[in-house]
Structure 1
């Protein structure tokens, strides 16, 4: 079905029941329904759903109990929400690990240059300002807190959870909002990771994503006039090993609108071989 709950007909499905069962292919009917049957020796179903004008959808489901040779619940229905492609635009997109050049002091990061701000790199705009306080003995004994702040009064960040629509592990590959909100941005954020004799601690969550606002400008009355918006797919991660690194999969829209829908064929970066940012 689509985001309004209406059936999506003529969507093409490829469903795989297990490694040796082959693929069941077909199309949804006028009610948006497709029925697939096959033998499965592990209870795992994987699949993808495609239709022109929509983002690709996916299915991942595992059955755990059999009864009379049938995986339970028998005849399970899985709901998938197909999200239409509306207005994808060019963006600066990188999915990379950046080595932190200094600890214990603020270091700016330029999203448009994908580099640290001078003197640590070639960046000129401190879109993100990182500061990491760290004590490190070895990978079994460390404690680090990453602080994120911003350069301008209306800049900020907010968390958004994964939501593909439909059932768990089934839904659109486009899992984040199309439009950035205009309120509720936090001016700072911090994340702590540690490991020691007590075990491990981490503030990072796998289903975290982020929407951010940077390069904000104000009018003569001190109100927001314009800003750049973007998103981070997945958690914003700091790793303590190898001198300290920050992992980001970020998207920056430079057109000063709140549109977050990226066209994967128009990345404004020329990416090095091996780096892929095909997710919208």
Structure 2
């Protein structure tokens, strides 16, 4: 009897071709970054089947809520949008669920130098400066003008199972540095804080990896890192207060390798990272407007569309 009722309901809602899987109800509540309900947000739900999906399109009510009932086999993909907000997206498991999703408001989107970078190291065991605006090493290894950040790579690569490296990251001024962040549970495409902090920057950061076929791998590279916020060009007044600085962020963890690849110009290994540099002094906004990337003519694998 329950099967017959379910089939009738399926036919009524979506038609015979989609009447497979189990009936799944999603009760969704959408809130903003302050925990307040967001009404009139556009909600799309794809209830996944072995072939295709059952779709729901609707909007949240005054309480920020929306409910959908469809047949599904492999969970549900939910996408929430609203003008003036960052998109929020999540994929759920199977079964009835009651979910809350965060739709974060756009506050101060900003033009930045933003780039995904795989950077060959000119020379191992040497401290070398890198210019965020020029996206290049400083002299004598590149055309960079200002050493915003320094890298020092050491270690050896024997083979895939036996290699090690140490990447030391440092800065010019004592008040320059990095603040490391852990990943959060937000479903928003904008995952960083809205603004860079005023304190907490560490001037030196060391990442190590040791891999041997005879011993256990050890590493300080952190796969759970959301990324880093950085501060450079810092100047203080006589009271020790910051009167000038530039801010930005690194998405995810730095990565480095001592593996040689002469055909790609990596005789000494490389460092890889994704960075966003805000060139406006004292502007702590971390909201990148990808339509205003200050780099032009980037390659496809260097382009960033995430805020």
Q: Settle same-fold status: TM greater than 0.5.
A: yes
1:128, distance to aligned residue in structure 2 (A):
1.0
1:103, distance to aligned residue in structure 2 (A):
0.8
Tell me the distance in 2 between the aligned counterparts of 1:227 and 1:156. Answer: 11
Q: 1:146-168: CA deviations, max 9, x gaps?
A: 00010112111010122353xxx
1:222, distance to aligned residue in structure 2 (A):
5.4
Larger CA deviation: 257-266 vs 16-25: 16-25
The residue aligned with 1:205 is 222
Change (3 A) 1:16 1:145: same
SS at match of 1:17: strand
Question: Out of 231, 240, 252, which is 1:234 matched to?
Answer: 252
SS at match of 1:15: strand
Tell me the distance in 1 between the aligned counterparts of 2:117 and 2:292. Answer: 18
Q: 1:15-41: CA deviations, max 9, x gaps?
A: 122252243221111111111222222
1:189, distance to aligned residue in structure 2 (A):
0.3
Structure whose alpha-carbon radius of gyration is higher: 2
The residue aligned with 1:67 is none
The residue aligned with 1:89 is 110
1:221, distance to aligned residue in structure 2 (A):
5.4
Structure having the higher helix fraction is 2
Q: Aligned-pair RMSD on alpha carbons?
A: 1.6
The residue aligned with 2:175 is 154
8 A contact 1:185–1:212 mirrored in 2: yes
Tell me the distance in 2 between the aligned counterparts of 1:276 and 1:106. Answer: 27
Q: 1:123-162: CA deviations, max 9, x gaps?
A: 1211111101112212211111100010112111010122
Question: Out of 193, 206, 216, which is 1:190 matched to?
Answer: 206
8 A contact 2:54–2:71 mirrored in 1: no
Larger CA deviation: 114-123 vs 31-40: 31-40
8 A contact 1:21–1:38 mirrored in 2: no
Q: 1:158-180: CA deviations, max 9, x gaps?
A: 10122353xxxxx2111101111
Question: Out of 14, 24, 29, which is 2:44 matched to?
Answer: 14
1:91, distance to aligned residue in structure 2 (A):
0.6
SS at match of 2:98: coil
**Would you identify which runs of 4 or more consecutive aligned residues in structure 1 move more than 6 Å?**
none
The residue aligned with 2:195 is 179
Change (3 A) 1:25 1:230: same
The residue aligned with 1:245 is 270
8 A contact 1:180–1:258 mirrored in 2: yes
In structure 2, list runs of 5 or more residues that go unmatched: 1-30, 262-267
The residue aligned with 1:136 is 157
The residue aligned with 2:85 is 54
8 A contact 1:15–1:45 mirrored in 2: yes
Question: Out of 38, 45, 49, which is 2:70 matched to?
Answer: 38
Alignment of 1:211-226 (within 5 A): 211-220=229-238, 223-226=241-244
8 A contact 1:17–1:38 mirrored in 2: yes
Matched residue pairs, number?
264
8 A contact 1:147–1:188 mirrored in 2: yes
1:45, distance to aligned residue in structure 2 (A):
2.0
TM-score (norm: length of structure 2): 0.81
